[in-house]
Amino acid sequence: MEHNGKWKIVCVSDHFMKEEFYLDCLKQFPDIELISIPYFGSHDRIEMRSMVDRLEKEGAYAFPPPPEVYEAIRDADLIMVHLCPIPRSLMEAAPKLKYILTNRGGLENIDMEAAHELGIPVLNNPAHNGNAVAELTVCLMVAETRNVARAHVAMKNGQWRENWPNTGRVFELRGKTVGIVGFGTIGRMVAEKLQPFRVKLLATDPNVTPDDPDLAKYNVKLTTPEEVMSRSDIVTIHARTAKKEQIIGKAELDLMKPTATLINTARAYLLDYDYLAEMLREERITGAALEVFPEEPLPKDSPFISLDNVTLTNHRGGDTVNCYSDSPEYLLTVLDELLKTGKRPKFYIE
C-alpha cells in the first residue's frame, strides 16, 4: 500500500470479531501499523446478541463507541470495525482518517451521511457471512421439507412418528422449482449450491438485469415477483432494502401454492410474519423455515412455537468462525488492490 510511511489502523474487536483475528490478519500486511484493538460491547454472548438487534434497529447512535476508540483514532488512517458504532463525532475526532472498513454487510452501525459529508469512503463486506447463510438456507430447505427437526424432537421424546403436516407431499428437491427473492451475494451463493440438486431456479431482483452473467452461469430465470411467488415449490428470501421495507406481504403470500414452502434467512422486516403464521395455521401453504424474527429472542407466546409445520433456528445463519476470522484479510486485500490499481471494489461507498 503506497503511503507516506506506514498506514496506521485502529481495529475494534467484539464478542464475535476477536482480537486474534485482527492480529493474525495484520501479520500479512507489514506496511500497516496497528495502533490498538479496543473492545466494544458485552463479553456475554446473549447480551451481545441483544445489542446487535438494537444496533440494526437504531443505527450508529444506539450505543456510544468506547472512549478508548476516540483516543486511539486521533492518529489513524484506517479504522476497522465489526459491530462498534461509528457516529459523526468519532469521524470528526480522526482528522487523518481516510477509510472506514467494516466486517459486515449491513451499514446500520455507521453514520453513512456523515461519512459522505466528511469525504470518508466506506468499504463493507456483505459476503463475510454469505457462504454460511447460503449453507444454512439449503439445510433448511431439506430440514423443513423432509421433517428433520420434527422427527428429531419426536424420537427424543420416545415417539416413532409416521404422520406429518406434509404427509403425501414429501418431495425431493430434484426437479422442483426454487424461487429466490433477491439475487445478490447470498442469493447467488444459494443458486450455486443448489446446482447438484438439479432444481429449476427463478429469481426476482429489481437491481439485476437480464444480461447478468450469473443468471446464465447458474441457469436462473430472472422474472417477476408474482411468478416467483406463484410458481415456486420453495421460496427463499435473500433481499435487503435500504428503508427496511416489507416486500412479501399478504398479496405476495396469497400467490403461493398450497404445496409450497417459504424460507427466510434474510431480515424479518421483509416478511409479514403475522399473516404467515395465519397461513401456516390454516395450512394454506405446506411449511416454512425461519431464521430471523421481528422480536429476538423469540417471545414465548409467538404463534410459531405451537405450529407443527415450521422449522425454527435462532438467527445463527452467519455465526461461524470462518465468517469472522476471514473478513479482515478480505477487506485489507481489497483496499490494497484499490490503492495500487485505482479499481474500486464492488462494496465501496463514498
Active site residues: 267, 296, 315
**For residue 13, what are the CA distances in angstroms to 23, 24, 37, 281, 318?**
11, 13, 6, 43, 17
Task: State how far the Cα of 189 lies from the Cα of 129, in Å rounded to an integer.
Answer: 11
Sequence-distant (6+) residues with CB within 8 A of 326 are 128
Q: Considering Cα of 44, then 46, then 47, then 53, what sign does the dihedral take?
A: positive
Dihedral of CA atoms 136, 141, 142, 143 in degrees, nearest 10, equals 70
The three cell numbers locating residue 191: 443458486
Across the chain, where does the E strand assignment appear? 7-11, 32-36, 78-81, 99-102, 122-123, 177-181, 200-204, 220-222, 234-237, 261-264, 287-290, 310-312, 348-349
Cβ atoms of 200 and 227 within 8 Å: the answer is no
First to last CA, the chain: 20
Cβ atoms of 281 and 256 within 8 Å: the answer is no
Cβ atoms of 172 and 190 within 8 Å: the answer is no
Cβ atoms of 204 and 221 within 8 Å: the answer is no
Task: State how far the Cα of 43 lies from the Cα of 25, in Å rounded to an integer.
Answer: 22
Q: How many CB atoms lie within 10 A of CB 301?
A: 7
Task: Give CA angle at 18 (43, 25), nearest 5°.
Answer: 170
Cβ atoms of 113 and 89 within 8 Å: the answer is no
Tell me which amino acid residue 100 is. I
